[in-house]
Amino acid sequence: MALLLAPMEGMLDFVLRDILTRVGGVDRCVSEFIRVTGTPLPERALLRIMPELAHGGRTPAGVPVRAQLLGSDAACMADTAALLAAMGSHGIDLNFGCPAKVVNRHGGGAALLRDPETLTRIVAAVRRAVPAHLPVSAKMRLGFDDDTQAVECAQAIAQGGASELVVHARTRAHGYRPPAYWDRVNDIRQGVQIAVVANGEIWSVQDAQRCREVSGCHDLMLGRGIVANPGLALAIAHADNPGVQPVPGVTWEQLLPHIHQFWLLVCDRLDRRKRAGRLKQWLNYLRLHYPQAQQAHQELRAVNDLALVGQWLDQQMRNAPA
């Protein structure tokens, strides 16, 4: 079983990829989407979104990262894919699932699921542009307004030459509201001859096991679930390994050094105005799994002075059990 780390625009960027892959259990990452329009992106712009390109395409923990492209111009997508391949990306992923209105208005993301022929054209152009040894994959939702074309869209992506397809088991209209329709992922899996990865509403080991059973997929992509519980991939991997006792997960005390490292990276790599907000954003997810994160979020909610945030974190580290 492979466990993939999902891209999450504005949240699961290179900073959090670094931290979550240090915790362990993740086999591969996908970058936040790189928006491709009519203007070719320079290398510096690609490095800003995916700095792992400067380090062999891997996170500091050694986990490979695959660049994800979003757009509807097949030629520009192909040119950018070729550049990313030359820079060291571990393959190219194509975004056919983003539900954001601004993206959809410009014909990108999930909007492309209304036009299977365009899906094939984009995938084929990227496949031709990328060296044969590098995989081209895609991520799609079940559809735009409904899931009536789900299998047709998946077949169009496979026809274009993709070797792997991640399916977020909801339509664009569903947004992120539960449930995830894992049974429809199974329909897609049976309709194509390429690898299919299930994604959506995997918050626990039990969710992962149920998703695999219903979808028929061996491989899974984790998103919000692993942001809320950084030990989720480790727990799933251990539960899937016969003869190995399941790990209890990552405790708050074990997570604190990672939160501290996250803050150091945020302060080093992100714009000053975004730093406090990024920590609060992660704590907001962590409180779904850790009661201590609820208290931390409450204490820091009104704090925007970076020095005070740093002092608070230092105090938490000093108070943590040895």
What is the pLDDT, as a whole number, of residue 41?
86
Q: Are residues 188 and 270 in the same domain?
A: no
What is the pLDDT, as a whole number, of residue 39?
81
pLDDT tens digits for range 72-85:
999 999 999 999 99
Does 312 reside within a domain? yes
Q: Are residues 218 and 274 in the same domain?
A: no
What is the pLDDT, as a whole number, of residue 293?
96
Does 287 reside within a domain? yes
Indicate if the pLDDT at residue 321 is higher than 80: no
Residue where a domain terminates, one of 186, 214, 239: 239
What is the pLDDT, as a whole number, of residue 106?
82
Q: Are residues 159 and 216 in the same domain?
A: yes
pLDDT tens digits for range 266-276:
999 999 999 99
Does 244 reside within a domain? no
Q: Are residues 124 and 78 in the same domain?
A: yes
Does 196 reside within a domain? yes
Does 247 reside within a domain? no
> How many structural domains does the chain have?
2
Q: Are residues 106 and 146 in the same domain?
A: yes
What is the pLDDT, as a whole number, of residue 40?
77
Least confident of 98-102, 120-124, 279-283, 306-310: 98-102
CATH number for the domain harbouring residue 36: 3.20.20.70
Q: Are residues 232 and 276 in the same domain?
A: no
What are the catalytic residues? 98
Does 266 reside within a domain? yes
Q: Are residues 191 and 280 in the same domain?
A: no
Does 99 reside within a domain? yes
Indicate if the pLDDT at residue 50 is higher than 70: yes
Host domain of residue 185: 3-239
What is the pLDDT, as a whole number, of residue 174?
96
Report the mean per-residue pLDDT for the chain.
95
- Kindly report the pTM of this predicted structure: 0.95
146-153 contact pairs (CB < 8 A, 24+): 146/171, 146/173, 147/171, 147/181, 147/184, 149/113, 149/114, 149/116, 150/184, 150/187, 150/188, 151/187, 151/188, 151/191, 151/192, 152/116, 153/96, 153/113, 153/116, 153/119
pLDDT tens digits for range 217-245:
999 999 999 999 999 999 999 887 766 66
pLDDT tens digits for range 194-208:
999 999 999 999 999
